[in-house]
Structure 1
Amino acid sequence: MSTQFTDTPEGFRSGFLSFVGRPNTGKSTLTNALVGEKIAITADQPETTRHPIRGIVHRDNAQIVVVDTPGLHRPRTLLGERLNEIVKDTYSDVDVIGFTIPADEKIGPGDKWILNAVRTVAPKTPIIGIVTKIDKVSRDQVGEQLIALHELLGRESEVVPVSATEDIQTSVLLDVITEALPEGPKFYPDDHLTDDSDEKRMSEFIREAALKGLRDELPHSVAVEIDEMIEDPEKDRTNIHAVIYVERPGQRIILTGRDSQRLRRITHDARRDIINMLGRNVYLDLRIKVLKNWQSDPKSLGRLGF
């Protein structure tokens, strides 16, 4: 839970913002860009984000709590159903919703389905349209997408084009979001960037490293659990032991790689991100285990925090 801080100037605005959109529309990349630090993992595969992540944007006149959520989608597994319920619960609690549409993909039935779902759950919450990835297309294409999104949301909604990777229009987007927030106090101290635990962030960094280069259904079968963290004062480091779960033995072979090369690369990449986060040296030990069909098993989902 966040705590309200009363030492805020008159007219200060604060509140919660959630990005909504199809999987892989740039929600996590945009969250990281606005917060100014990597708090949400990104990957080429859709449905990468699996739990709501709160990142805090501090401004002189506002505090914006960005809630990065899984992409709303038609579920194929029990995990997918549970993620959708989490997303819908989040939408009903936030002050502003940012509806994300990539500049390089036409608006389709999936976008309309998501918008309808959001308006059903949160009919009175203001929606800001966001055209993402504008660095990937021409100005004319951006203009066409802005018009299409205006027509989808209604002319009363504001629409902002952005590129999170190139930092284009992100400050403009923050201005528009700030104006839509209610007046209120700070919820977090000025040095606070996320309320995700260190263990949760570490498990996500490991999963992100494991997803690199994967194809087809395997990415959805990957889950990570931190077994233990032990301080090692003699070596001045933190020893972290974690397990990567997959659903079938063949998937474990793929993640391990020839002569364990892929597993070593996963360990190297994840360790780098964890060191950057903790600000100290880390020893990372990763094991891969099979947890059969965990995405559809209630007991396994509960064990993994879903």
Structure 2
Amino acid sequence: MSTLEPTPEGFRSGFVALIGRPNVGKSTLINQFVGEKVAITSPVAQTTRNRLRAILTINKAQLVFVDTPGIHKPHHLLGERLVNTSKKVIGEVDSILLIFDGNEPPGSGDSYIVKLLKGQNIPVTIVLNKWDLVTENQRTDRIKEYISFFNNTGWNFFCCSAINGKGCDGLIQKISSTLPVGPLLYPSGVTSDQPEEILMRELIREQVLLNTREEIPHSVAVSIDRIEEMTASKKKGVSKKRIAILATVLVERKSQKGILIGKGGSMLKKIGKGARMQIQKLLNGPVYLELFVKVVPDWRSKPARLAELGFGEK
């Protein structure tokens, strides 16, 4: 990508991976860094599936954050590919943020991630996220637990909250100093490199996760079937364009389809309304969204189906 804007002397730029177990707040943290919604979030673990890049440009640096799926023990082919995606990212970036839920002590599953990172010659910063949930009385002991856990790594610690932003500015300044001197990698006004179609797909899936929670956990995928530009009604002599989107929500069982549709279609309408509002913000204009639900048994373990949905082997 050619650089169209001059950068000051000593300007730094590079890629920063957010690595961690599921549900530690990586996507929420990225949204806080960038100042707008570029990654979907939900209380459900393993929300992130795509390797999303979010871009933050400040006076002396440009940070390209790479949000990765949470590292976990996979139970199907999709899970294996998501974990492999996260592992691959580790060797492709300039700096790593190792994110933990600061409201919990380190666990045995964290040791596996630490082993992955110890063999890399890349700066690692340990981030204790969700620090707003840790009481004042707990904080000193919690930091001691993590210092003991990471003994002899030499990695820096930061405590922050992705929800209220406390500690995030200092963290950004610290990460910036670990990046190599270099030019802008993206135009300064860009905040994400994801195609709009992928973002639409993810915004629909986010509403499924938010509205169904435990009932339909990770056996859901979304495909965008058609996008058309329509001419809406004229107002004051001006024709307004409206985007029509047809999308399909895939599930693995008939019972899941019933839950997603709901009584009289009530749940699907609720999901569609929430997704439409988010997509309108993304496209900055009116949107017509129609959703369908399709049962595809065991789609998470079928290579051909995963490839259709953008989860092919990379």
Q: Distance in 2 between matches of 1:14 and 1:186?
A: 6
Matches within 5 A, 1:8-157: 8-120=7-119, 123-153=120-150, 154=152, 156-157=154-155
Amino acid at match of 1:141: Q
What do the CA deviations read for 1:101-129 (whole angstroms, capped 9, x no partner)? 11211110011111212334xx1011101
Q: Distance in 1 between matches of 2:153 and 2:303?
A: 44
CA separation of 1:217/1:117 partners in 2, compared to 1, >3 Å: closer, same or farther? farther
Q: Which runs of 5+ in 1 are unaligned?
A: none
Runs of 4+, deviation exceeding 4 Å: 2-6
Pick from 148, 162, 168 the counterpart of residue 160 of structure 2: 162
Report how far residue 279 of structure 1 moved.
Answer: 0.5
Other-structure match for 2:196? 198
Q: Distance in 2 between matches of 1:137 and 1:213?
A: 27
Q: Which runs of 5+ in 2 are unaligned?
A: 234-240
Asked whether the 8 Å contact 2:105–2:146 carries over to 1, the reply is: no
Report how far residue 4 of structure 1 moved.
Answer: 4.5
Amino acid at match of 2:281: N
TM-score (norm 2): 0.93
Asked whether the 8 Å contact 2:12–2:62 carries over to 1, the reply is: yes
Other-structure match for 2:212? 214
Report how far residue 44 of structure 1 moved.
Answer: 0.9
Asked whether the 8 Å contact 1:13–1:62 carries over to 2, the reply is: yes
SS at match of 1:54: strand
Report how far residue 84 of structure 1 moved.
Answer: 1.2
Other-structure match for 1:171? 169
Asked whether the 8 Å contact 1:255–1:263 carries over to 2, the reply is: yes
Q: Distance in 1 between matches of 2:126 and 2:164?
A: 19
TM-score (norm 1): 0.95
Q: Distance in 2 between matches of 1:227 and 1:112?
A: 42
Q: Distance in 2 between matches of 1:173 and 1:246?
A: 39
Asked whether the 8 Å contact 1:5–1:188 carries over to 2, the reply is: no
CA separation of 1:220/1:30 partners in 2, compared to 1, >3 Å: closer, same or farther? same
134-143 vs 63-72, greater mean Cα deviation: 134-143
Amino acid at match of 1:113: Y
Q: Is 1:302 aligned to residue 307 of structure 2? A: yes
Asked whether the 8 Å contact 1:53–1:196 carries over to 2, the reply is: yes
Amino acid at match of 1:149: Y
Q: Is 1:237 aligned to residue 237 of structure 2? A: no
Other-structure match for 1:268? 273
Asked whether the 8 Å contact 1:88–1:118 carries over to 2, the reply is: no
133-142 vs 186-195, greater mean Cα deviation: 133-142
Instruction: Report percent identity of matched pairs.
Output: 39
Q: Distance in 2 between matches of 1:263 and 1:220?
A: 17
RMSD (Å), alpha carbons = 1.4
Q: Distance in 2 between matches of 1:74 and 1:299?
A: 22
What do the CA deviations read for 1:280-303 (whole angstroms, capped 9, x no partner)? 000000001011100001111111
SS at match of 1:233: strand
- The number of aligned residues is 303
SS at match of 2:217: helix
